[in-house]
Amino acid sequence: MPIALDRRTRRDADLRHVSIEDFLAREFPGLVARHGPLVAQGITFLQAPPLSIEIGTSSWSFSSDGTTLTASRGTIGGALVVTLSEAEFSDWAQNQRSFNAMLTARELRYRDGSEVDVSGWDSLWLTLLEGWPVVDDTIEFVDRHGAALDLGHVLTPADDPADVSHFLREAGYLHLRGWLDPADMAAITADIDRALPDYREGDGRSWWATVEDGSRRCVRLQEFITRSPATSAILRGERWEHLRGVLAGDDLLQRRPSDGRGLEALIKPVDVTVGASDVSFHRDCHFGRHAYSCSNLVTGIAVTGSGETNGQLRVIAGSHRVLMPVEIAKSRPYLPVVAVPTEPGDVTVHLTCTLHESTPPVVEERRVLYTGFSLLPRAADADAEAVGGGTTGGHALAALRERISQILLDEATRS
């Protein structure tokens, strides 16, 4: 059966400080009883080394005995050794921040292992916490009637809505055509051109990259909808609302806010040398908080067409169903990699758990808008947000993303 959209198992209201001693005594035995064999299977499949965690002057190790995951005190030979603060372990143990997040933020301290090992243990740890397997040899891609699914199929408003929502849940992505008017894309292009002079490096609402000639280019425009009447009309229109209902199926989805940072305009220049423009395979939840917010839906509106010459979205089909490590996805993916070439006005959709990448343009730039739909807040989460003015974890992750963009900017400046 395809994975359900709503995969939330944790609440911000339950967050607390978790020491490693407390975790091993209270939570680890139950997690191992439920998910230990899946972790052991993943360790064998990935050929992952043991993991040793150092906190202060103490250390603990996690390894497989061939059938389940075991924990022991001390550092063991051949292990990937990661040094964490107590706060970092607490975040990691509660899926607030991943090793990937700490690594990208230049905070992770590790030795005797590679980035592939670090990425592998991020996946294995989430397998322990959530029961999301690293590998599943039984995965097939079938339509609602049991026939083989065409992973390159482009769906239109003429398709049965049930087929559209099934494809999304089965494969983890969609390529849609005919849902928006391609003629509107010229107006959006003009809106981007008019908005660009209003953005400056360091303004907190744009990302920048260096291209081959040494110049700096704005590659991400946040708060763009306030500068684009054409975009605003699309996202508030009947077609977009109809699409929300089709994608939701039996789930409840809401549109992202139509102001502020609920939508971003991205420009993908040719010959980027430094900066976060085209990002290789990743999940939108790979920095953390999968268990608090997934799966949300990310929608890309093709302002220009996309393809091999000007870059395109590529997805790993079914990667929302198995926890393929990000670094493995970049080098040796073990599920189908599907390119999604678009025409102006096409819409792509991917789940926040689906591995995806943007390939770099080689001839001409491309432009795309990103927004999406999210699961309705659960009652307890909505109450906590109303009292606290927002989810602490969600705000912290947003701040981390902006901090990482600043790190990349600083590195570009130094180079």
157-182: pLDDT as tens digits: 999 999 999 999 999 999 999 999 99
Element housing 398 (H / E): helix 392-414
Residue keyed to tokens 């690293």: 134
Q: Between vectors from CA 292 to CA 254 and to CA 117, what angle results, nearest 5°?
A: 125
| Average pLDDT value for residue range 201-219 | 93
Q: What is the mean pLDDT of residues 128-154?
A: 96
Q: What residues are paired with 174 via a beta bridge?
A: 349
Beta carbons within 10 angstroms of residue 194's beta carbon: 11
Position 262 scores a pLDDT of 77
- Average pLDDT, whole number, for the chain? 92
Mind giving me the DSSP string for 268-328?
Answer: E-SSEEESSSS--SB-TTTTS-HHHH---EEEEEESS-BBTTTB-EEEETTTTTS---HHH
pTM for this model (two decimals): 0.92
pLDDT in tens, 288-306: 999 999 999 999 999 999 9
Distance CA 252, CA 268 (A): 33
Go through the domains of the chain in sequence order and give each one's CATH number: 12-130 (3.30.1050.10), 161-414 (2.60.120.620)
Exposure b/e, 245-279, CB count within 10 A at least 16 = b: ebbbbebebebbebeeebbbbbbbbbebebbbbbe
Distance CA 32, CA 153 (A): 40
Q: Is the pLDDT of residue 257 over 90?
A: no
Say how many C-beta atoms besides its own lie within 10 A of residue 407's C-beta.
Answer: 15
What pLDDT does residue 397 have?
57
Residue 13: pLDDT above 50? yes
